[in-house]
Structure 1
């Protein structure tokens, strides 16, 4: 399939020169020499040159602006939601999401407000329908919404986290690129009254050390700088279960032991054989009575 697509593209680019006015005049009988076969290649080369500057791409589309609001309690978040017809709030914990939903937000925005603490198909269907028809929709979610959930909000509020998580949240703001980037904002806030999970707290610190070094925090250089901070801090603990030793490759071959790794992980989760034998007995775990 890929080979067919590439061949079709190459053929279309090859024929591009046939639509040039000089080639059309040649077809009409004009005695001129026309090089039509390289027109497509010349077009691609011109686009490549215009898209690069100093060896780096400069045409990465900007979908939204990134703001930092500092501390915000639930009342401040509800007030912020009140000024938006369609907005997404992502918290770092289920407790924070539920507190927002069960508190003032639900009483104030009951017809248009949903809490997402699990990827419910019913909830997502309703959310997408509201967004596609420009109807009011205020969604409070945990980070699960960042795991491949395809929604497009004009406004996103994200509890402070690592740059990778903030980038995922930004992917739900002006996702289709149909709005003015300056009018599409991702606001990072500190959730007042809620503790930050330890793994996220470390990532917040990593992000903080590189935040003021880059004008565009989603640029490749900023992303690389951020992960270098993460790797420096965490070191070998990133692979605490020694998973990467089962995944090796070189220039000639790959050595990915998916089944081995899965079986090892599965065995570590299983209880000892003696415990399993006991559980196969009576409902209370006792031994079967002998006949």
Structure 2
């Protein structure tokens, strides 16, 4: 008898990402921009620069300076947006080739348009896409994914099969918890713990010698309490999801390049 797939609010498998939709170069005044939508979560990221800095506070003779702002759907930025700004900045300062443009400034503006869960990952992935759209030099392309630790499904709801992220750790039959990828807002509210992780791609030169998912995590935030076993499983699952998200971002850029070439009448080889 086939096992019954555990039900999530939107019908996904535990290790399945929400469908992603990307729109590039939508901001006419930005050097690069991207809108990324995942279910009810939607974020627009705009990149301005690299450009000469007009302030000594934002100028470094040895490297490019990055400035990040995150705006909420309405009202003034709260501690949540400020914390996300600091996190995105920390990720980008390691991923961007800041030595390529000394004394230059890059401004990254993030506008939250909708939050249906997984906001941090969506914002970080949108920033990566906008930086690529602006042709800002990167040492590697950071990809992000969130994971929630939920109460385990009832035996009659045991999950079967795998989703878009591929094979992933599953709780044992006796586990009291369940790991779900790319959680919705409702799942985040019900979770005992939430993981938000950004990864160096496993095939990037910077990942050489980093043998585990935790070692390849460029940024990891944990909210709530969790066991070591759950944490290891959640980070491994997040890396699989981030890889799937990264594949989508790469596809979006390839399509954009092909469209640009078609408009210019250029024939791409390969």
Report the TM-score range of the alignment, normalised by the length of the smaller protein.
Answer: under 0.3
- The TM-score with structure 2 as length reference comes to 0.24
Structure with larger RCO (C-alpha < 8 A, sep 6+): 2
**Higher-strand-fraction structure:** 2
